[in-house]
């Protein structure tokens, strides 16, 4: 019997009804048109809050996937609810959303965990984690046939980031997309959040993942998925893909109208 990871935040972070979910994503995509067009795309950064807050920002990145020849998608997520010293790839057969089940790419997963003590198969970090799940419906809307490799980083230290980046660069091919799932600063005033989040925006636009990692370590900025972003960018660099652009940046106050304590969001593309 197949082991399928259920949709945990359907009805909370996004609609649980398939028709309403599909329509909401269509609306978000229609109002979030990026100004650039790229022939091929290696990675994206996408936020992972409820769609009402960060869906529009995410849609800027997902719009770039339209018509692209992508069949394998590596989704890298932080672990919000549990710490573990390693990087866990879901051991099951699929991830379910209201739009259906997406199959796990077992072959690509096996390449990533082969002879590795840091990256392994399991369920740690996957049971209640939303940061991967909220990306999947967008992918289901944009790409016809694909498989995923859902990865949760229990530790975002440099050793773990570097190992993941190297393994991805060795295992990925031209039909592989890397999704880094991350929000930015949490619960600062709008002005304070802008100051922190602009550091990440500048580091990404300059494709300076080493500076981004250092800025995160010394608290010049904040991102719950900073490790996934750096790992995606370093993997892309190792694959000789070194162009990056921030597509949109926003915060929760844009939805609530309350700018006294906001959460920052950003979408970007590496191509």
pLDDT one-digit tens code per residue, 65-110: 999 999 999 999 999 999 999 999 999 999 999 999 999 999 999 9
Instruction: Tell me what pLDDT residue 115 has.
Output: 86
CATH number of 4-270: 3.40.830.10
pLDDT at residue 1 tops 80: no
Cβ neighbours around 81 below 10 Å, total:
9
Tokens 């994206």 map to which residue? 44
Q: What is the mean pLDDT of residues 230-252?
A: 98
85 phi, psi to nearest 5 deg = -85, 75
Domain spans of the chain? Answer: 4-270
Cα gap 14→9, rounded to integer Å: 7
Instruction: Tell me what pLDDT residue 252 has.
Output: 98
For the segment 101-141, what is each residue's pLDDT rounded down to a tens digit? 999 999 999 999 998 889 999 999 999 999 999 999 999 99
206: tokens are: 């300059």
Whole-angstrom CA distances from 134 to 25, 203, 236, 238 are 11, 25, 23, 28
Do the Cβ atoms of 57 and 88 come closer than 8 Å? no
For the segment 28-70, what is each residue's pLDDT rounded down to a tens digit? 999 999 999 999 999 999 999 999 999 999 999 999 999 999 9
Interacting residues of 256 by C-beta distance below 8 A, sequence separation 6+: none
Burial of 185 (0-12, 13-18, 19+ CB in 10 A): buried
Q: How confident is the model at residue 21 (pLDDT cuts 50, 70, 90)?
A: very high
């Amino acid at each position: 019997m197949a082991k399928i990871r259920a949709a945990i935040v359907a009805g909370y972070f996004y609609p649980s009804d398939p028709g309403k979910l599909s329509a909401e994503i269509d609306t978000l995509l229609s109002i979030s048109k990026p100004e650039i067009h790229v022939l091929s795309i290696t990675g994206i950064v996408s936020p992972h809050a409820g769609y009402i807050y960060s869906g529009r920002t995410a849609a800027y990145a997902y719009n770039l996937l339209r018509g692209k020849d992508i069949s394998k998608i590596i989704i890298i997520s932080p672990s919000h609810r549990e710490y573990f010293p390693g990087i866990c790839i879901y051991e099951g057969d699929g991830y379910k959303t209201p739009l259906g089940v997406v199959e796990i790419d077992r072959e690509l997963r096996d390449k990533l965990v082969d002879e590795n003590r840091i990256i392994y198969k399991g369920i740690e970090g996957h049971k209640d984690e939303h940061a991967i799940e909220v990306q999947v419906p967008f992918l289901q809307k944009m790409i016809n046939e694909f498989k995923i490799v859902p990865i949760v980083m229990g530790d975002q230290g440099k050793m773990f980031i570097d190992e993941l980046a190297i393994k991805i660069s060795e295992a990925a091919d031209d039909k592989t997309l890397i999704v880094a799932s991350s929000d930015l600063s949490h619960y600062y005033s709008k002005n304070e959040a802008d100051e922190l989040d602009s550091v990440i925006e500048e580091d990404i636009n300059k494709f300076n993942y080493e500076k981004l990692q250092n800025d995160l370590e010394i608290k010049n900025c904040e991102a719950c998925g900073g490790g996934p972003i750096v790992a995606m960018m370093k993997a892309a660099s190792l694959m000789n893909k070194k162009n990056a652009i921030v597509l949109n940046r926003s915060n929760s106050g844009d939805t609530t109208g309350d700018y006294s304590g906001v959460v920052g969001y950003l979408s970007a593309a590496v191509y």
